[in-house]
């Protein structure tokens, strides 16, 4: 009788331990974006419940706590993380030196164990993002959360995977900037380009120059609708003052938040153009000495910084405070859309041209940028700028962000300068998303669909294999002239950002538009969980809605 009870007990234990071991999974259980390098489907499912524990070494505490919070929220119970390896856990985080790519990871899911291994902590974090996409949004019929078994080996194609946000035309609160970073992180994007200064507003506190925020962060009113050309005088304004800026404590908080999510924040301080807000605050920085107002309409303004020693001292002081706040190796200095009319008519500017042996105002801009680069290099930083910085000669260590098509990027790569591709046709998310604009919110113009973004190839065929190494990646740009709310920003970036994330992460050969549309069905469920507002122009997204 005792033997019979023992056998029965063993059978029960064995049955329980193998409850999920033989479950057969289907391809629809693995709709991951961006598409992994290698995915091997296995039999079985892993149960997340109150017995789940996360184990990892001390260096992975950030990632362990991130996963702990993620899983705890999903099941409504605490899933603890501990770096005490003596405790037995069924989710293991670890570093693996055998993984070659520094952002690469290996995710192994069995019915009784999950292991996330990365070359670095960043790789482990991206493994967590993939795991998150495999977690069903709803519990099964037994009220359980089950993750399908698999072995995934993955790493990114490009080292730079970026998204930009203009907070100068319209200001967005700290909480939304954090949410924006979360959206980037879930897509394995690793760079946040933060556009902080403009003609229409200066958005970062600089303690040495308080008027930059006291005066430069506030415009007296804002243009209504389009009408940004100077030839068009028949425009309307809303008559309402508009402003806002980030304190240095706000910036520190956002940078720390991004760092925890392995997102590098690159600040942009525009020069020598797009500087009207700064000149309105400190007229001595301009070329005429006149008192200006912060810009109230969109477009390109003639007011640019004077190439004076006073201006260079100002910019060095500003940048000194900026680099104390941002650990990024790259500092974006703009360099785009700087009309030269004021320099042409400036006695000082012409004297500088003559003194420095320059040919024209384009070379004066190059001189201007090279001086800023030399200063930033002395602080251990490098500059990145829009492709206009090529005009008049490129600064020695500059990275070029190619937005006016790919020509500037190709030119820079051929002379062995690093390049980020962000051409308007594929990467400007302020454009309309569909040709049918009847029910669309106001946008700047143009037309870039999700499929257009997905079709983009960041490495131009004009480059040799050696030259191609200088194309670090690509970036989506979000200019906010016509985006007043966080919800509007979300609508304009999703799912175009999702398409771009696969362009910069996945192998070129693995990309397939029809397959991508099917996988969108899964990730938009995650959008809903995050309460994100997204466009439904892609067929498979419309099916979900």
Is the pLDDT at 475 greater than 70? The verdict is: yes
> Is the CB of residue 348 less than 8 Å from the CB of residue 308?
yes
Task: Read off the pLDDT of residues 99-123 as tens digits, 9 standing for 90 and up.
Answer: 999 999 999 999 999 999 999 999 9
Count CB atoms within 10 A of the CB of residue 326: 20
pLDDT number for residue 86: 75
Q: Would you say residue 504 has pLDDT above 90?
A: yes
Confidence class of residue 13 from pLDDT cuts 50, 70 and 90?
very low
Q: Between β-strands 264-271 and 223-224, what pairing exists: parallel, antiparallel or unpaired? A: unpaired
Helix-strand-coil percent breakdown of the chain, rounded to 5? 40, 20, 45
What per-residue confidence (pLDDT) applies to 228?
60
CA angle in degrees (0–180, nearest 5) for 154-157-160? 115
CB within 8 Å of 243: residues ≥ 6 apart: 171, 201, 217, 218, 219
**According to DSSP H, which parts of 286-346 are helical?**
309-325, 341-344
Say what percent of the chain tops pLDDT 70: 93
**16 has a pLDDT exceeding 60:** no
HSE, CB side, 13 Å, CA atoms: give it for residue 431: 20
pLDDT of residue 141: 56
Read off the pLDDT of residues 192-229 as tens digits, 9 standing for 90 and up. 999 999 999 999 999 999 999 999 999 999 999 886 65
Report the DSSP pairing between strands 399-402 and 382-386. Answer: parallel
- How confident is the model at residue 266, as a pLDDT? 98
Q: Where are the alpha helices (DSSP H) in 190-240?
A: 211-214
Q: What is the CA radius of gyration of the chain?
A: 26
Is the domain defined by 19-154 classed in CATH 3.30.379.10?
yes
Q: Is 26 exposed, middle or buried (0-12, 13-18, 19+ CB in 10 A)?
A: exposed
Question: CA quadruple 386, 390, 391, 397: dihedral positive or negative?
Answer: positive
Per the prediction, the chain carries an average pLDDT of: 93
Please say if the pLDDT value at position 438 is more than 80: yes
How far apart CA 527 and CA 88 sit, in angstroms, is: 34
Check whether 539 has a pLDDT greater than 70. no
pLDDT at 139: 59
- Domain locations in the chain as residue ranges: 19-154
In whole angstroms, give the CA distance from residue 513 to residue 449.
12
Structural contact between residues 264 and 191, judged by C-beta atoms closer than 8 angstroms: yes
Q: What pLDDT sits at residue 138? A: 64
Q: pTM for this structure?
A: 0.95
pLDDT band at residue 2 using 50, 70 and 90 as cut-offs: low
Both tokens assigned to 463 = 């480059």
Per the listing, tokens 């509007």 go with 488
pLDDT bin (cut points 50, 70, 90) of residue 541 is very low
Kindly state the tokens that stand for 87.
């405790």
SS3 90: coil
Each residue of 129-177: pLDDT tens digit? Answer: 999 999 987 655 567 899 999 999 999 999 999 999 999 999 999 999 9
For residue 199, which of 305, 120, 288 has the smallest C-alpha distance?
305
List, in sequence order, every beta strand (DSSP E) within 169-325.
191-195, 218-219, 223-224, 236-237, 242-243, 264-271
Cα distance between residue 510 and residue 519, in whole Å = 13
pLDDT at 315 over 90: yes
Looking at per-residue pLDDT, the higher value among 397 and 141 belongs to: 397
Across the range 181-193, mean pLDDT stands at 98
**Residue 7: per-residue pLDDT:** 46
Give Cα 41 to chain centroid, integer Å: 31
pLDDT per position as a tens digit, 456-468: 999 999 999 999 9
**Angstrom distance (rounded) from CA 147 to CA 47:** 7
Retrieve residue 11's tokens: 């059978």
Tokens of 231: 């030839």
Cα–Cα distance for residue pair 33/520, rounded to 1 Å: 8
As a whole number, mean pLDDT of residues 419-425 equals 98
Residue 71 phi/psi, 5-degree rounding, is: -70, -35
On whether the CB atoms of residues 472 and 424 are closer than 8 A, the answer is no
Angle between helices 174-186 and 248-260 (to 10 degrees): 20
- Say what the pLDDT of residue 114 is: 97
The pLDDT-based confidence of 385 (bands split at 50, 70, 90) is: very high
- Write out pLDDT tens, residues 28-76: 999 999 999 999 999 999 999 989 999 999 999 999 999 999 999 988 8
Structure tokens at 542: 């419309």
Sequence-ordered list of residues with C-beta below 8 angstroms from that of 371, at least 6 positions apart, any chain = 312
Backbone angles phi, psi at 109, to 5 degrees: -120, 120
pLDDT value of position 140: 59
CA distance 319 to 332: 11
Q: Which stretch of 132-141, 207-216, 347-356, 493-502 has the lowest confidence by average pLDDT?
A: 132-141
pLDDT value of residue 11? 44
Residue 10 has pLDDT above 60, yes or no: no
Contact 486, 175 (CB under 8 A): no
Question: Which are the contacts of 161, defined by CB distance < 8 A and separation ≥ 6?
Answer: 188, 189, 190, 191, 473, 474, 475, 501, 504, 505
Least confident of 244-253, 437-446, 503-512: 437-446
Tell how strand 160-166 and strand 114-118 pair up: unpaired
Instruction: Tell the residue number behind the tokens 């983009």, with chain if given.
Output: 456
């Amino acid at each position: 009788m005792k033997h019979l009870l023992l056998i029965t007990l063993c059978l029960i234990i064995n049955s329980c331990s193998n409850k999920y071991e033989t479950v057969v999974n289907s391809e629809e259980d693995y709709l991951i974006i961006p598409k992994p390098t290698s995915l091997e489907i296995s039999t079985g499912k892993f149960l997340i419940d109150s017995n789940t524990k996360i184990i990892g070494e001390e260096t992975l505490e950030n990632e362990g706590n991130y996963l702990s919070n993620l899983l705890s929220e999903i099941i409504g119970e605490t899933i603890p993380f501990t770096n005490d390896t003596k405790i037995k856990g069924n989710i293991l985080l670890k570093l693996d030196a055998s993984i070659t790519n520094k952002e690469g990871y290996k995710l192994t899911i069995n019915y009784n164990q999950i292991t996330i291994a990365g070359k670095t902590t960043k790789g482990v974090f991206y493994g967590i993002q993939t795991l998150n996409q495999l977690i069903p949004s709803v519990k099964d019929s037994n009220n359980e959360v089950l993750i399908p078994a698999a072995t995934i080996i993955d790493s990114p194609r490009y080292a730079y995977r970026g998204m930009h946000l203009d907070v100068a035309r319209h200001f967005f609160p700290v909480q939304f900037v954090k949410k924006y970073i979360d959206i980037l992180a879930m897509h394995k994007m690793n760079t946040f380009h933060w556009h902080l200064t403009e003609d229409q507003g200066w958005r970062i506190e600089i303690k040495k120059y308080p008027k930059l925020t006291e005066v430069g962060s506030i415009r007296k009113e804002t243009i209504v609708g389009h009408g940004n050309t100077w030839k068009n005088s028949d425009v309307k304004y809303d008559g309402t003052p508009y402003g806002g800026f980030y304190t240095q404590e706000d910036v520190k908080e956002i940078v720390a938040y991004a760092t925890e999510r392995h997102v590098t924040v690159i600040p942009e301080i525009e020069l020598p153009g797009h500087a009207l807000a700064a000149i309105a605050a400190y007229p001595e920085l301009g070329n005429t000495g006149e008192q200006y107002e912060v810009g109230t309409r969109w477009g390109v303004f003639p007011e640019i910084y004077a190439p004076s020693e006073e201006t260079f001292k100002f910019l060095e002081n500003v940048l000194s405070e900026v680099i104390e706040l941002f650990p990024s190796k790259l500092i974006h200095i703009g360099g785009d859309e700087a009309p030269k009319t004021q320099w042409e008519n400036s006695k000082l500017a012409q004297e500088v041209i003559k003194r420095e042996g320059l040919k024209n105002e384009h070379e004066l801009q190059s001189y201007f940028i090279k001086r800023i680069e030399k200063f930033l290099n002395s602080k251990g930083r490098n500059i990145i700028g829009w492709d206009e910085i090529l005009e008049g000669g490129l600064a020695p260590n500059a990275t070029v962000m190619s937005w006016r098509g790919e020509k500037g990027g190709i030119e820079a790569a051929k002379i062995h300068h690093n390049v980020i591709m962000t051409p308007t046709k594929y990467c400007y998310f302020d454009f309309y998303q569909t040709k049918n604009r009847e029910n669309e919110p106001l946008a700047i113009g143009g037309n870039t669909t999700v499929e257009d973004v997905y079709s983009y190839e960041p490495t131009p065929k004009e480059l040799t294999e050696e030259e191609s190494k200088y194309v670090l990646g690509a970036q989506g740009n979000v200019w906010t002239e016509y985006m007043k709310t966080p919800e509007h920003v979300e609508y304009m970036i999703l799912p175009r950002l999702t398409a771009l994330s696969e362009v910069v992460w996945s192998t070129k050969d693995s990309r397939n538009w029809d397959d991508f549309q099917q996988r969108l069905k899964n990730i938009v469920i995650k959008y809903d969980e995050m309460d994100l507002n997204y466009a439904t122009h892609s067929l498979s997204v419309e099916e979900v809605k």
